[in-house]
Amino acid sequence: MSPVPYDMTPAVAPVERSVTLLGATGSIGSSTVDLIRRARDRYRVEAVTAAKNAAALAALARELGARFAAVADPALYDELKTALSGSGIEAGAGPEALVEAARRPADWVMAAITGAASLKPTLAAADRGAIVALANKECLVCAGTLFMRRAAAAGATVLPVDSEHNAVFQSLASGRRAEVARIIITASGGPFRTWPIERIRQATVEEALKHPNWSMGPKITIDSASMMNKGLEIIEAHHLFAAGADEIDVLVHPQSIVHGGVEFVDGSMVAQIGPPDMRVPIAHCLAWPARMAGATRLSFDKLASLTFEAPDEVRFPALRLAKAALTTGQGAPTVLNAANEIAVAAFLDRKIGFPHIAALVEATLDASAARGVLREPADPDEAVAVDHTARSLARDLLPEIAAKAF
């Protein structure tokens, strides 16, 4: 396995690369499709999947000439099969169909399914030794030790798609792993970067969804506002780059131009910079170990300044909680992620206030520890079981947390 660049050997990309897109109709999947459209002679699409949008999936499968299309919802099988009628494209539905898509003979797999449903298909791709472009957090946050061990055993290559981890990935190529002093991931600081804590506590859903730089879905946008996204990225970096919690730093960088980097023992720092466009790291992974033409370029002459500051863990306690979960280990990161998803959904539904998000996550972690459910998952089913238990606990705690005043 080559999960980090210091293990990769120079190679020439194949003339045609076969690819599978798990989560083809989502934001990451759509950006990947955009890049494939720009280089159709370099890529052949083996399989595509979606959660629920059977019509869009069928249209995409036809356009890209996919051989197999699968929708996660079993009830949508007939709709998908009808939409593919006469195309010669095989149809599937349900969790096992997603796993089948991942097992199809593609050189490269984009793993962009969100939620716990991503674990088994992504593991299936890794288990057959594929190049896995990892775009979801759950595989590493919920089962990082298991996932990386299985990928290593199969000789898979794990490429990080997330802009910060991809930046670290590229920066690590400048030296040996033993020469790394620290890994740096950057954060925009979100919409509340300069707000006092009293104002943050009163933040509305609309205010939290106004990200200053990135266009993302509502869940990740709220995670950016709370800085839980950086907490989860610390956990991911730990597994991707075999780094301890004390080797990973977060820097707030409001311009979102420097995405991450590495400091070496001699004091040298190497960082990756680029526009805030997810097609840049996706293009790097799609063409790896070669390069391909991107969709956007950065104009240095239009950059007024690049600034950096330390994150404030008092105003943004999610960072502290994530670091504590990483230190605790075992199932704590799984509980952290599950509780956060319940909390964010409740906030978006206006059932709790913004400060209740971190409060619910912390309460769920404490309750999970007290009940002895922070076990290390030994297989995907155990990881899903810990996730489900944590979600149930978080839901039970929700009324109590919602009643708290801040």
pLDDT digits (tens, 9 = 90+) for 80-131: 999 999 999 999 999 999 999 999 999 999 999 987 789 999 999 999 999 9
Q: Is the pLDDT of residue 66 over 60?
A: yes
Q: Does pLDDT of 8 surpass 70?
A: no
Beta bridge partners of 93: 71
pLDDT value of position 373: 84
How far apart are the C-alpha atoms of 45 and 65, rounded to whole Å? 7
State the pLDDT confidence band at 366, using cuts at 50, 70 and 90.
very high
Task: Return the ∠ at Cα 207 (arms to 206 and 212), rounded to 5°.
Answer: 115
- Cα separation, 301 vs 174, whole angstroms: 26
Give the residue, 14 or 237, on which the prediction is more confident: 237
Question: pLDDT band at 5, cuts 50/70/90?
Answer: very low
pLDDT of residue 9: 46
Residue 50 has pLDDT above 60, yes or no: yes
CA 19 to centroid of chain Cα atoms: 19
Q: Is the pLDDT of residue 13 over 80?
A: no
Binding residues: 25-28, 51-53, 136-138, 162-164, 188, 211, 217, 224, 229-230, 233
Mean of pLDDT values over 158-165: 96
- What is the predicted pLDDT for the residue at 215? 65
> Is 300 exposed, middle or buried, given 0-12, 13-18 or 19+ CB atoms closer than 10 A?
exposed
Longest Cα separation, the chain:
62
For 324-354, write each residue's pLDDT tens digit: 999 999 999 999 999 999 999 999 999 999 9
In order of their start, the domains of the chain are 17-161 (3.40.50.720), 175-276+298-315 (no CATH), 329-399 (1.10.1740.10)
Q: Is the pLDDT of residue 14 over 70?
A: no
Share of the chain above pLDDT 90, in %: 80
Rounded average pLDDT over 369-393: 90
- The closest of 34, 40, 48, 38 to 15, measured between CA atoms, is 40
Distance between CA 354 and CA 347 in Å, rounded?
7
Give me the pLDDT at residue 131, please: 98
Closest CA to 94 of 121, 71, 117, 65: 71
What pLDDT shows up at residue 294?
78
The pLDDT tens digits of the residues spanning 275-285 come to 889 999 999 99
- Taking each helix axis from N to C terminus, what angle separates 119-127 and 95-103, rounded to the nearest 10 degrees? 20
**CA nearest neighbour of 67 among 12, 104, 33:** 104
Count other C-beta atoms under 10 Å from residue 176's C-beta. Answer: 10
Contact predicate 122/147, CB 8 Å: yes
Residue set of the binding site for Mn(2+): 162, 164, 233
- The predicted pLDDT at position 301 comes to 80
Give phi and psi for 252, each to the nearest 5.
Answer: -80, 125
Residues comprising the binding site for 1-deoxy-D-xylulose 5-phosphate?
137, 163-164, 188, 211, 224, 229-230, 233
Please give the annotated binding residues for NADPH, written as ranges: 25-28, 51-53, 136, 138, 217
Strands (E), 112-174: 131-134, 157-160
pLDDT recorded at residue 377: 85
Which is nearest to 124 in space by CA: 90, 97, 163, 85?
A: 97
pLDDT band at 211 (very low <50, low <70, confident <90, very high): confident
180-203 pLDDT, tens digit per residue, is 999 999 999 999 999 999 999 999
Q: Rounded to whole angstroms, how far apart are CA atoms 363 and 365?
A: 5
Give percent of the chain with pLDDT exceeding 70. 96
